[in-house]
Structures are given as structure tokens and as C-alpha cells.
Amino acid sequence: MSSSQWIGRYRVERRLGTGAFGVVWLAHDDRLQAPVAIKVMAENWAYRLDIRERFLSEARLLRRAASDGLVQVFDIGEHSEDRPYFVMEYADRGTLEDRLTAGPLPVAEALRLTAAATRGAAALHRAGAVHRDIKPSNVLVATAPDGGERVLVADLGLAKSLAQASGLTLTVGSAGYAAPEQLDQSDGIDARADVYSLGALLYHLLTGVVPGPPGKILPPDRLRPGLPPEIRRAVLRALESDRERRWPTAAAFALELERLAGQAGSEAGRRRRRIGPARLVAALTALAVVALGTVAAVRWQADPAPPAVERVSDATGRIHVDVPTAWAGQLAGSGWTPEALGLPDHHAAGLTVAGDVARWPDLGSGVSGVFVGLGADRGLVDRVGTIGHRACRYEGSRTYTDASWRGRVRTWSSCGTAGRSLEEIGLTPVRDGAPQAYVQIRRGTGGDDPTDRILHSLRVSG
């Protein structure tokens, strides 16, 4: 579909995004003179009458439950080739997923946004429905008439759960967000599954990482030191594996969040302080270095004419990677702690190589180097994809593929020092059963870009 096309009486402007069931378009309602978002079901689903019906029942349900915290639905219809669509209000400020690319949020903001999403979920529950798929990309933000912002829950997992039940390969609820009872549907689910996902949302907004699997969740204050115990308790109660121990309803959780948001808001007024993602990475890398006990200062091959790269290995001999000789001053090779990314692994193979490893934890230090960490947990790449750096400028992402790895390189610049770049890379091995890898590269932006060569040289044995 091109921008000169129409869906019903709506003039299409551009694509806003693509989900599991179709494409969402930004369009214009010329009669009401207002922008709208239109979700059109993909062709490959439209022939399934049952899923099609669920797609439209989502629209009807949102209409029926109508609340300030839910995306408003204005119209439903059918486009060419019998493809159903529904017309919603346009959320002009993106999604909470967009907001997370910059890293964890200020506490008061995280509480306020989650409280508003929880109110939206509570309205659905009053209308007799469970959302089943609350996650940052399904929480939208729109400008309110007074210039403030409205938080809107969208995109229920109704059609998805039917597709999943009929054996299609869709999963409802994302890793870290789905309540345990959603994974084992024998007991049925109720509104408390959404309470779990809302707890996961708050955890993610506060720490910058998705919580670990149910029952193995690192307390949020470990990732965000200084988080008040009351907030930690509220988050962990929502994330209880046993739903009997969670907040009994979304409305009860919302009340507590609103109270905590009020407190945090007034405290923030007195003491403007933000724990940035830089600190998360500092903690992550500090753990890697401190866990070593000693940072081995190693000079490799003092050849008179050193090669442009040095091949370095970690202490277990599993990781081998080429790094530019100019960065290969010191090696800390005895591992890292994936727990710092909310993963269950306590210690895993890893190395940091840099001119001055002791200064590596400081993102603004201007030290060039490479960190490589392995993860036995399959969720490592997902976690790496959630890291953000609010103190830096996000420059975008690209895919990386070679014969051994598939991954995404996300780049930031200006982390306290001009002319520097920071790349966060999650790599999935092409070979089945091999561990995933997390690579961080920091370097100056001028001249040669060695990133692809470094990634290409990375080998993991065992």
C-alpha cells in the first residue's frame, strides 16, 4: 500500500509499524480532520474466519471497555480482498518500547506510566476481558488535550491466543512478561496474569532490563541501587509466581502505584537525581572486573612490528577474538556476571580488553576496548536488546550476519566524551547449541571502523 491510497474513507499517510497480525498505518480522516491509526489484518490471516472474528472482537471490546487508559476505537471495516481493519486514535508519542531505547526511566515517571497502563488494564478487566499481552510495544503514548500525555493500552492478545491454541507458532506474552500460568494453560488465566505483565513493565522501566523467568527474578534494586524498598516490594508482589500472592486486582496495584508515584514525584522535586543506564553498564562491567580479583596486565607479543590486531583469549580458553593492537593494553579474562542483566547465570566466560581495564566501568572515560561475555541462558540476546544509555545519543541499529553469528549492532555516541561511540551487540550463533554472546565495543568515531572485523573474528569453543 502506498501513501496515495485509501482505506475506506481514510487517506493513508505512512506505515507506523507491523505486528503479528498485520500492518498499522497512519491515516487522515478528512471529515473529522484528524489523524487516525488503522490496523489492517494481513492477507495470510484474513482467510481464517475464527481469527478474523477475534481480530474484530478486540476492536469491539476496546470500544465497549472505553476508558482513558485504553486506545479508543472509532470504526471497523473491510478493505480490499476482505481484509478487516479497525480505526483507532493515533498515539503521536510512540510506545513505551521507544522510550526504553534511552534506558531506564526516572522512578516517578516509571511509576506514573505503569499506574496509567494498569488503570487501562483494570478497565478491560471490568469489561470481562484479560489483555494477555501487555508489554512496552503495546503501551502507547498520546498527547492529551492539555498538552500532557495519555497512556493507552492497545493490541490485546485475543487473536494471538486463538492462533496459538490452534497450533500456529505464535506465542502470546513475551519472555519475561508472561505470567507462569500463561505458559502452562492448564489452570486457565484471569486478570492476575495482566498484573504480572504490568509488574514486568514497571521492572523494565525502572531497571532497563526485562525481568528474568518467573521465580528467578533479580530484585530490581540490585540493578537500580537506591530504589526505595516500598517500590521493590510493589514490583515483586506483582511478579509473584503464585498468583494468589500477587496484587489481587489491577485496580489495587494501580492504587499503590499512584501512591508511590505521588511520593516519588515530590521527592524528585527536592532531589533531582536520575540513575542512568550508564550506571547499569558500569555495574555490569565493574562486576566483570572486580570478580576477577586481580586484573591481569598483559602485553601481548612485544614484536618490533606488531600486527594491526592482537588475538586474545579469556581464562577458560573458550573465547577468542581479534582486537586492534592499539586497544590491547590489558586483559581481564576471568569472566562476567550475566546476573547484572537480570539473567539467572551467576558467572560465565567473558573478557574485557582495553588500554586501561580499571577505567572501563566508566562509560565517559574515553577508553577504547572490547567486552565479550557468553551466556548459557538463551535469553542473553533479548536482554542485550533492552540495554539503553540515556546519557548518550542513540544513533540507530543495524543487523550483523556472518557464517558464525547473527545479531544486531546498536550504536550510541557522545557518552560524556565527544567523538566516541558505544556499540551494544547481541549475537546468536548459527550453530545449534552454541552459547549466545554479548559484545560491547567502545572506540573513537574518526577513521577506521573495526566493529565488523572484531565480530567476524569472534570464535567460541566448547
Ligand X SMILES: Nc1ncnc2c1ncn2[C@@H]1O[C@H](COP(=O)(O)OP(=O)(O)OP(=O)(O)O)[C@@H](O)[C@H]1O
Instruction: Out of 40, 88, 281, 357, point to the residue binding ligand X (CB under 6 A).
Output: 88
Cell numbers for 258: 499512584
Scanning 18-26, 186-194, 219-227, 347-355 for contacts with ligand X by CB under 6 A, the matching segment is 18-26
Residue 111 lies near ligand X (rule: CB under 6 A): no
Among 57, 74, 137, 168, binds ligand X (CB under 6 A): 137
CB of 419 to ligand X, least distance (A): 33
Contact characters 31-70, ligand X, x per CB under 6 A: ------x-x-------------------------------
User: Does 428 contact ligand X by CB under 6 A?
Assistant: no
d(CA 47, CA 180) in angstroms, rounded, equals: 32
Of the candidate spans 2-10, 85-93, 196-204, 340-348, the one that interacts with ligand X by CB under 6 A turns out to be: 85-93
How far apart CA 23 and CA 19 sit, in angstroms, is: 6
Write down the least CB distance from residue 137 to ligand X, Å: 4
8 Å CB contact between 321 and 372: yes
The candidate with the shortest Cα–Cα distance to 333, out of 318, 313, 347, is 313
Tell which one of 7, 51, 61, 95 touches ligand X (CB under 6 A).
95
Backbone angle region of 132, left / alpha / beta, with phi > 0 → left and psi within -120 to 50 → alpha: left
Options 29, 50, 98, 133, the catalytic residue: 133
- Among residues 12, 56, 65, 71, which is the contact residue for ligand X, using CB under 6 A? 71
The interface region with ligand X, picked from 87-95, 360-368, 377-385, 407-415 by CB under 6 A, is 87-95
Q: In the complex with ligand X, which residue's Cβ is closer, 39 or 442?
A: 39
Q: Which long-range CB contacts under 8 A does 162-167 form with residues at least 24 apart?
A: 162/50, 162/51, 162/54, 163/20, 163/45, 163/48, 163/51, 166/50
C-beta of 24 vs 227, nearer to ligand X:
24
Query: What is d(CA 445, CA 54) in angstroms, rounded to the nearest whole number?
Result: 50
Q: Which of 8, 9, 13, 17 binds ligand X (CB under 6 A)?
A: 17
Q: In this chain, which of 51, 61, 91, 96 binds ligand X, going by CB under 6 A? A: 91
Q: Which three cell numbers stand for residue 202?
A: 514497571
Contact characters 372-411, ligand X, x per CB under 6 A: ----------------------------------------
Question: How far apart are CB 123 and ligand X at their closest, in Å?
Answer: 16
C-alpha span between 83 and 204 (Å, rounded): 35
Is residue 90 a contact residue for ligand X (CB under 6 A)? yes
Q: Is 140 in the site for ligand X (CB under 6 A)?
A: yes
Q: Is 348 in the site for ligand X (CB under 6 A)?
A: no
133 is catalytic: yes
State yes or no: residue 29 binds ligand X (CB under 6 A): no
**Distance from C-alpha of 430 to C-alpha of 401, rounded to nearest angstrom:** 9
Q: Please tell me the distance from the alpha carbon of residue 238 to that of residue 194, in angstroms, as a whole number.
A: 9
Q: Which is nearer to ligand X, 89 or 424 (CB)?
A: 89
Nearest distance in Å: CB 205, ligand X: 17
The verdict on 162 binding ligand X (CB under 6 A) reads no
The C-alpha atoms of residue 56 and residue 54 are separated, in whole angstroms, by 5
Please identify, among the stretches 90-98, 120-128, 250-258, 288-296, the one whose residues bind ligand X according to the rule CB under 6 A.
Answer: 90-98
Is residue 24 a contact point for ligand X (CB under 6 A)?
A: yes
Which residue's Cβ has the minimum distance to ligand X? 19
**Binding residues with ligand X: total (CB under 6 A):** 20
Helix axes 49-65, 158-165, angle to 10 degrees: 150
Dist. CA 226–CA 222, nearest whole Å: 9
Cell of 289: 572486573
Instruction: For residue 135, say whether it is annotated as part of any ligand binding site.
Output: no
Q: Print burial letters for 257-294: b (CB count within 10 Å at least 16), e (below 16).
A: bbebbebbeeeeeeeeeebbbbbbbbbbbbbbbeebee
Binding window for ligand X (CB under 6 A); candidates: 47-55, 132-140, 325-333, 368-376: 132-140
Work out whether 138 is an interface residue with ligand X (CB under 6 A): yes
CA-CA-CA-CA torsion for 242, 244, 246, 248, nearest 10 degrees?
160
Q: Can you state the angle between helices 107-126 and 191-207, rounded to 10 degrees?
A: 170
Nearer to ligand X, 138 or 164 (CB): 138
Which residues contribute to the annotated binding site for ATP?
39
List residues near ligand X by CB under 6 A: 16-21, 24, 37, 39, 71, 88, 90-91, 95, 133, 137-138, 140, 154-155
Query: Active-site residue numbers?
Result: 133
Binding residues: 39
